[in-house]
Structure 1
Amino acid sequence: MKLLSFSRSIYLCLCIFILVLGIFLFNASQNKSTATEIEIFHLLNRTTLGITQSDIEQVKSQGARKYIKAQLNPESTPESDELLEKLAKIDHSVVDPAILYQKYRQTKSLSNLEKKQRREKLRQLTQAAVQAHLLRAIASRHQLQEVMVNFWLNHFNVFIDKNLGTKLWMDDYEQTIRQYALTNFRDLLGATAHHPAMLFYLDNWQSSDPNSPGARGKFKGLNENYARELMELHTLGVNGGYNQADVVNLARILTGWGVDLKGQNSEHGFKFYPNRHDYQAKVFLGNSIPASGLEEGEIALDLLAFHPSTAKHLSYKLAQYFVADEPPPSLVKNLAKTFLASQGDIKTVLKTLLASPEFNAKEHYGKQFKTPYEYVVALIRTSQITKPNLSVAIRMIKRLGMPIYGSKTPDGYSHSQNSWLSPEAMLQRVSLATMIAQGVLSRPRQPVEARQLKKTLEPYFSAHSRQIIETSRANLRSALILGSPEMMYR
């Protein structure tokens, strides 16, 4: 019986894959929807993590301008009680990560049973962080904020399994990113620079002046990792006008920037260790930095945050994220100008982007291939699965090659089509679309209704997509819709 059920699932998946392939080969992204409908679909595709019927109705009733304004000011719209209750049920630790670090850092003296218990506790903590992240992405009313959280988590990437510190502070790191996601870039940059998760990930928590009184043991040398990525990835960009001397001097500036491992009421766990700092004068990006301890780092962050190269680098990445893999140079230039004029105000930059002719050009509609994360979250949101099995959803995203918090390299996950589109990836996506249509993510298990999906999406589908769906067997329609080009692209 199990073999028969498995064979039937494979058969359905292959049938749907063949039909979806036909849609992809034929589809010219043309449809009969009104201009307003298409504009709404495009706006929601780029400013949410998955279109829902309520999103569409909200834009229609408010208008695009008011909708964007509300999304840029999430504090004006409270989250639903249902979401807050679900988040409260997730097993977040109320214990200071520093206390847990002291508890779990030593393993040599532990018995095998104690080691097993330690691994299980850490697994539970990381699983809770991932589930909370995914739950917000699915159910938050602040969708543009969650879109930007996704952007900034990749921009300021931290790999959760780098070490014990990244595991314990990851949830707090995401909360910090969310807090500053729509504020000012300098504030966001400073928050990440001070955060234990970043300091642990790029090893700055150990970086010390080799000649300082505190340079001993694991803290005995200068580490350039964070200084290099801070310029190359977080601010100036690879061609941003810095050299190796700037890397070394920035690393010297940031010596002593570490983690409060004793939990002594420091903000988010940051602590400056003056006995490990390099107190010699430095030159950074052509600027003399007087010896002033912690303040040296703040001066360096100011120089980086407001640098023209940073404005250009961030503007390119934002335009790539919201508009096209190869963003229009005119848009990048305009965003960089706005960034500098507003002193890095993220809301102002996003307003400029979302109102730009380039963002609203029809040539960009439905042309960005969703990442695995975006695709799975969109399937859940559009299917209106109110009680998703988060553990299964997490495994689905991982199966597609994009585990949450799982990018090992500092550059984070790519957002370009070339990184994710392949025949194998397409087959996997269709397989997952079929499974979701059959109800594997619902608690209790309940198939997704094609009628509800059609109500939300049909006005935006091409004529050929509609024809394929309507002429297919009724039990295949939900999977066809979820595996369609209109769902895989944004």
Structure 2
Amino acid sequence: MLSIARRCATTLWRTSILRAVYSERQLQEVMVDFWTNHFNVFAGKGADRWLLTSYDRDTIRPHTLGKFYDLLLADAESPAMLFYLDNFQSVSADAQPPQQRPGAARGPLAQLMRMSNNPQQQQPQQRQRRGINENYARELMELHTLGVDGGYTQKDVQEVARCFTGWTIFAPRGAGAAAQAILNGPRADMLRDNAGKFFFNARVHDNGEKVVLGHKIPAGGGMGDGLAVLKILVQQPATAKFIATKLVRHFVSDDPPPALVDRVAQTFLKTDGDIREVLKVIFFSPEFNSAAAYRVKVKRPFELAVSAVRTLGADTNGGPQMHQWIARMGQPLYGFQTPNGYSDVAENWVNTGALLERMNFALALVSNRIPGTRVDLSRFVTDISGSKSIDKEKLLDRFVTSIMGGEISAQTRATLLKQLDDQVVLPSTSPTQVASFKAPVNPFETAFQRGALNPGGGGGQQQQQLASVSAAEINNALVKLAGLILGSPEFQRQ
């Protein structure tokens, strides 16, 4: 039986895949993926295993196309982010544990309530680590807003960290559930109902005056100190340029055109960070619609898997087996440990091992070797089902038109034709497993690394195991052709 944490993670993977595949609001899903990576949280860290469900539902999704300030605030208050970057433990150096009043509640329930609300009264062995934690403050400026060259100093990091003391989580490790198990009653219900939620603990906040990026934040501001920091950061030209650069890199080119970045940044500042308006500038720009930007971005594994399923009209339950393939290709969802998230440039995704896994995935998908996902390739030849064979060029044209919109290079076409007999025998039944075999190395590997195809590359000199696909399945021309097209440079790019 799966643990609760494992079930939470599996459900989150499944829903992420299903929404990306089946949602009619595809731009929304693209931006969910973008912002989830921008505000990266690692699922393998403690309570984040179950806090990430709320992170996706309540923090990222409602704000993907709204104002950047609202998204930044939601992220700052997110228990998942507070736990991941340890800000839930950040307290003023001057904070003192509350004195127990005469007649105050005693016993295990009272102890749990005090532990839930006061980080300094949690486990004794952790006390020496309490104090101001700078992790969130640093990543807020370096990765979420200004960028590493955004003009902030170590003193700014320290001041921002002071502003966010007291931004914490109520019972981050589930003290509410423990209290409910110990004693029924209204206070236990309160702990249970609020465990894992954000709250501002004024008792441990640093109420002194702060100066952030030259802006004075008066003493006594309480939670308003953190809100003031977020407003200051959103209004910085460095933030506008940093966000504009990341968006243009994601949608246009690994080398963002400076002129487009400048226009996007200006729109960001003029509209107070309106994400919709910023995206309009990108999508209607000459740079985005130029031939130079066409199919220059290499799909990351999640994008590749989703686009392959959608293109083939496959049915999937988004189960663990599909996620395992995405992970094998190098991008386990919520699996990047450091706060900077997965790379958005080709050089970090294009190498021999990664490309082989991509071909493995393509062959596994088209041969129905991924449990929970089904592909029916017969739809490509339903109108000629009475025929026993078809000319290979006609068959190729059918697949290229359906999968690639008819657009492949002459070199890719020549390579694909070499894999087919002159007259392709159409299968009368679906592919079935016979025996595993070793197929030649992916003929597109060398091409991927050079950025152009090498017809016939790979040959039969080296042998690599490909996806445990049977000989009968590979010999099925429909499976072979669909798999090779999904592995082609054109399909790997967008």
TM-score (norm 1): 0.73
Task: Say if 2:488 is the partner of 1:484.
Answer: yes
Aligned to 1:87: none
Q: Name the aligned partner's letter for residue 301 of structure 2.
A: P
1: CA distance, partners of 2:243 / 2:405: 35
Q: SS of the residue aligned with 2:199?
A: strand
- Check whether the contact 1:439–1:448 (CA below 8 A) recurs between aligned residues: no
Task: Say if 2:469 is the partner of 1:465.
Answer: no
Aligned to 1:72: none
CA deviations 1:79-125 (Å, max 9, x no partner) are xxxxxxxxxxxxxxxxxxxxxxxxxxxxxxxxxxxxxx7x7221111
Aligned to 2:18: 135
Task: Say if 2:213 is the partner of 1:280.
Answer: no
1: CA distance, partners of 2:293 / 2:373: 39
1: CA distance, partners of 2:275 / 2:362: 35
Task: Say if 2:141 is the partner of 1:231.
Answer: yes
Q: Name the aligned partner's letter for residue 289 of structure 1.
A: I
Q: SS of the residue aligned with 1:270?
A: strand
Cα distance, 1:444–1:316 mapped onto 2, change above 3 Å: closer
Unaligned runs of 5+ in 2: 98-118, 177-189, 381-397, 421-476
Distance apart, 1:431 and its partner CA: 1.4
Cα distance, 1:446–1:362 mapped onto 2, change above 3 Å: closer
Aligned to 1:172: 54
Aligned to 2:301: 372
Cα distance, 1:137–1:160 mapped onto 2, change above 3 Å: same
- Check whether the contact 2:245–2:256 (CA below 8 A) recurs between aligned residues: yes
* Worse-superposed segment, 264-273 or 401-410: 264-273
2: CA distance, partners of 1:443 / 1:407: 25
Task: Say if 2:351 is the partner of 1:422.
Answer: yes
Aligned to 2:170: 260
Percent of residue pairs identical? 40
1: CA distance, partners of 2:311 / 2:218: 55
Distance apart, 1:453 and its partner CA: 4.4
Distance apart, 1:470 and its partner CA: 4.3
Aligned to 2:446: none
Q: Name the aligned partner's letter for residue 172 of structure 1.
A: S
Aligned to 2:81: 198
Q: Name the aligned partner's letter for residue 468 of structure 1.
A: T
Task: Say if 2:217 is the partner of 1:289.
Answer: yes
Distance apart, 1:432 and its partner CA: 1.3
CA deviations 1:352-390 (Å, max 9, x no partner) are 010011111111111111111111111111111123452
Cα distance, 1:461–1:442 mapped onto 2, change above 3 Å: farther
Cα distance, 1:378–1:286 mapped onto 2, change above 3 Å: same
Distance apart, 1:445 and its partner CA: 4.9
Aligned to 1:340: 269
1: CA distance, partners of 2:400 / 2:370: 19
Q: Name the aligned partner's letter for residue 191 of structure 1.
A: A
Where does 1:24-103 land on structure 2 (aligned, <5 Å)? none
- Check whether the contact 1:389–1:442 (CA below 8 A) recurs between aligned residues: no
Task: Say if 2:362 is the partner of 1:433.
Answer: yes
Q: Name the aligned partner's letter for residue 143 of structure 2.
A: L
Q: Name the aligned partner's letter for residue 477 of structure 1.
A: L
Match of 1:269 among 197, 203, 215: 197
Where does 1:383-422 land on structure 2 (aligned, <5 Å)? 383-388=312-317, 390-422=319-351
Distance apart, 1:392 and its partner CA: 1.4
Q: Name the aligned partner's letter for residue 323 of structure 1.
A: V
* Worse-superposed segment, 288-297 or 383-392: 383-392
Aligned to 1:454: 400
Higher strand share: 2
CA deviations 1:226-269 (Å, max 9, x no partner) are 00000000001101111001100100000000012246666981
Aligned to 2:466: none
1: CA distance, partners of 2:374 / 2:32: 30
Distance apart, 1:440 and its partner CA: 1.9
2: CA distance, partners of 1:449 / 1:147: 30
Q: Say which one has the larger Rg.
A: 2
Cα distance, 1:234–1:333 mapped onto 2, change above 3 Å: same
Cα distance, 1:449–1:429 mapped onto 2, change above 3 Å: farther
1: CA distance, partners of 2:62 / 2:195: 14
2: CA distance, partners of 1:487 / 1:450: 20
Aligned to 2:155: 245
2: CA distance, partners of 1:159 / 1:128: 16
Q: Name the aligned partner's letter for residue 85 of structure 2.
A: L
- Check whether the contact 2:17–2:318 (CA below 8 A) recurs between aligned residues: no
Q: SS of the residue aligned with 2:168?
A: strand
Aligned to 1:323: 252
Distance apart, 1:462 and its partner CA: 2.1
- Check whether the contact 1:240–1:310 (CA below 8 A) recurs between aligned residues: yes
Task: Say if 2:213 is the partner of 1:303.
Answer: no
Q: SS of the residue aligned with 1:314?
A: helix
2: CA distance, partners of 1:445 / 1:185: 39
- Check whether the contact 1:246–1:284 (CA below 8 A) recurs between aligned residues: yes
Aligned length: 372
CA deviations 1:420-470 (Å, max 9, x no partner) are 101111111111111111112364755535837434224222233234334
Higher helix share: 1
